[in-house]
A and B are shown apart, each in its own frame.
Chain A
Amino acid sequence: MSTLSDPPKESFRLSMLINDTRYRSLTFQVIAAIVLALCIWYLGNNLIQNLRAAGLNISYNFLGDPAGYDINQRLVDYDSQSSHARAALVGVLNTLLVAFLACVTATVFGVIAGVLRLSKNWLVSKLMMIYVEIFRNIPVLIWIIIIFTIMTAVLPGPRAFRGDNATSSMLFDAFAFTNRGIYTPGPYFENGIFANAALNWLLVLVVLVASFFGARKINAWATAKQEATGVRPNTRAMILGVWLIPFVLLMLIMGLAWEFPELKGFNFSGGLKIGGPLIALWFALSIYTGAFIAENVRAGIQAISKGQTEAAAALGLRQGRIMNLVVLPQALRVIIPPLISQYLNITKNSSLAIAVGYADITATLGGITLNQTGRAIECVLLLMLFYLTASLLISMAMNVYNSSVKLKER
């Protein structure tokens, strides 16, 4: 009589920690946790010892102290008596300013170059290829320095515009290209609604945003009507009106006027001054990143198979409609994600401002403030925090977009 007995209950052996898949991952994670904790303890311990030896501590109080240095290019009020925190704010705004400007122009350059690269014109497509290859393969720092050198060493000083036999003259009596920067006419309001100029501009922005939503509303109404009756009402005049009428009215009420730059003494005054460093950084980032965007645009357009164009043509669509209704919506889905990561790159590369003395966040907080206060750890951490926040915000926008255009598959 044979009886079946249960196999002997497996007892836990130490070797199972590494050989048994049930426990192995746990073992590895425990080891990793211990190693990580050891590293943090080691580095932290070193940090504490070093700081004690140098007589330092981690404190952010220095942000309230007066900065004591001047910043030429600024979007908000600032003088040398303002605090370090204020200087950092000026830097943040400058970073955002140059990043925004460069994103816009880089997109323009990139789209033009990317489309022309696919042109049937042999010469133009080869020229665009040369542009892309040259700008992609040379460091952006060198481009920034080259354009900054053009700004400072080639353009004439304000002195050249003076006197009866001036060697340089202003373009249309409105634009002056000097080695200190470019002077253009600046808009201002003669009888603004608010006393503060910034608030007036904010009002303009609010009106424009309202117009944008108004135009969207009209489009939605037209689409609803089209779906109900089959006839789309002509909305062109209405949309133009929604954009223009409030804007023009506001301009008339507030009395928009232009202040022209004038040569007074040894320098220009009045109007809007765009400093040389800003232009160098803006332009260099635009043409450098434009070359990368051109490649993205080209790849995006080429990714749409020829059958799509042919199918649209077979349906009887006109050339422009094929582009608008068939090719572009599909190409954009390919182009936009790398485009946004290029915007991210622009934002990060704008930190090269420090090489030409443009007062962005790296140059103020990470440069002068750091050197004056000696608060290396605090400054660098704040700097990283800013860029990290900006990057995360941009990639969050990218994820939202990606999920909204994702192909809805079964």
Chain B
Amino acid sequence: MSDQTTNSVAYVAETMLPELPPPARETGVIKWLRQNLFSNIPNSILTLVSLWAIYVLLSSTLPWILNGVWTTSSLNECREVLDNKLGACFSVLTERWHQLLYGFKYPTDAYWRPNFALVLLLVAAAPVLFFDLPRKMLAFTAVYPFIAFWLIWGGTILTPILAFVGFAAAAVIFQTYGKKSFAIGFFGAIAAALVVWIVGGALVPESASDNALLSAVPSRDLGGFMLNLMLGVTCVSLSLPLGIALALGRQSDMPLIKWICVVFIEFVRGVPLITLLFVASVMLSYFFPPESTVDLFLRVVIMITMFSSAYIAEVIRGGLAALPKGQYEAADSLGLDYPQAMRLIILPQALKISIPGIVNVAVGLFKDTTLVSVISMFDLVGMIRGPILASTEWNGVYWELLGFAAVLFFVVCYGISQYSQWLERRLATDHR
């Protein structure tokens, strides 16, 4: 029976045919190209247009960059070397390197101080940014602002020490009394810090800075990219706590506090940063006591901090609003009081939601630090537009300088936004 069947169906193959390779147009590079670049006619046209655009861009910039001159000391010299060929005069960067980074008045022999402060900043920021690192490193982060202040401004070491002691006293008072009653701890801490600073300020002699270990550098001598970094780091870190306070204040049940916060936030968000910088440069000094001399740097820091804290407050308010109401009720039902509920339940979740927004504000703020060049502070853009382009040697070198500034900002801002995306993935505890 079975014999007959096998014989009668003669066309059944007895062996498996070997697998043929897929058609050439369905594999590898060709398939990828077909699918991604030339899937239909409009798509092919788009691809060709993009290729043409890339060609035009590269063919004009690449020779210019590759042909660049790095070792001349003026534009004329550079043009002689180039001999009418297309090429960049990158020598302006090498020759004015220190001016671009530190401004033109910062003492030359002290360049190691901001450099060292930057290295320490990385160490201090590490435990905040990457929380797998040992928590003990946070102790250094707490001390860092005072070290950085001393390194960059120099002068007597007593000033940063005094400031640190004030904060330490406040922290001790808060730890001792804050457990029993938040309000007593909070106001006690402020009082303690004020007492330390006032008493200490009277004790530090006027002439302490005269022969200090690090020579004192006045704020107006700061400049270059260092100034952008300093403004960015200082203002973001100051505006975080302020922003949290404003956001909580805006959500508060107390009408007076709520309205103070609302008016402040909406006012600051409604005006451009430039007008606030105008306030810092021409108006703010009218509001300080007549005999005091608050320097421009501090005034600018105050205004930029106000500006960014309003934006951060709005971001955090979004995070607070996104939390389900049950979280607030659960905290209440556990018998936690307001500060405890905020610290233990609400803020950790709300801040996590707000991280991308906060980083956006931080990046925006860092970019906005270039605006200080408008009120004649010599940050990176101010240095380029002012002393360097106005000098006889380098009058007319636009692209190298502006390109350098653009690259510098791009590297920093892109780095921060990549970090924030990493952090978002890292903090995603929900399983979706």
Contact = CB atoms under 8 A, between A and B. Distances in A.
B278 A18 contact: no
Contact of A352 (B181, B270, B274, B399): B274
Interface in B369-427: 370-371, 373-374, 381, 385, 396, 398-399, 402, 405-406, 409-410, 413-414, 417
Interface of B: 36-37, 39, 43, 46-47, 50-51, 53-54, 181, 183-184, 253-257, 260, 266-267, 269-275, 278-279, 282-283, 285-290, 363, 367-368, 370-371, 373-374, 381, 385, 396, 398-399, 402, 405-406, 409-410, 413-414, 417
A145 B381 contact: yes
Contact of A377 (B256, B286, B399): B286
Contacts of B181: 18-19
A380 B184 contact: no
Q: Chain B CB within 10 Å — which of A19, A29, A33, A123 has the most?
A: A123
A215 to B, nearest CB: 31
A123 B279 contact: no
A216 B22 CA distance: 57
Nearest to B258: A29
B46 A119 contact: yes
A46 interface: yes
Interface in A110-156: 116, 119-124, 127, 133-134, 136-142, 145-146, 149, 153
Interface stretch (A234-242, A255-263, A385-393): A385-393
B275 A362 contact: yes
A119 B283 CA distance: 51
Contacts of B36: 120-123
Contacts of B271: 348, 383-384, 387-388, 391
A376 B47 contact: no
B391 to A, nearest CB: 17
A273 to B, nearest CB: 24
B380 to A, nearest CB: 9
Nearest to A130: B54
B407 to A, nearest CB: 9
Interface string A153-191: 100000000000000000000000000000000000000
Interface of A: 18-19, 24-25, 28-29, 32-33, 36, 43, 46-47, 49-51, 53, 116, 119-124, 127, 133-134, 136-142, 145-146, 149, 153, 348-349, 351-352, 354-355, 362, 366, 370, 376-377, 380, 383-384, 387-388, 391-392
Contacts of A153: 396, 398
Given A123-B47, A133-B414, A388-B271, A139 B290 contact: no
29 contacts: A18-B183, A18-B184, A28-B254, A29-B255, A43-B287, A50-B287, A50-B290, A116-B46, A121-B47, A121-B50, A123-B36, A124-B46, A124-B47, A127-B50, A139-B370, A141-B381, A142-B381, A149-B402, A352-B274, A352-B371, A366-B274, A366-B275, A376-B282, A376-B283, A377-B286, A380-B278, A380-B283, A391-B269, A392-B270
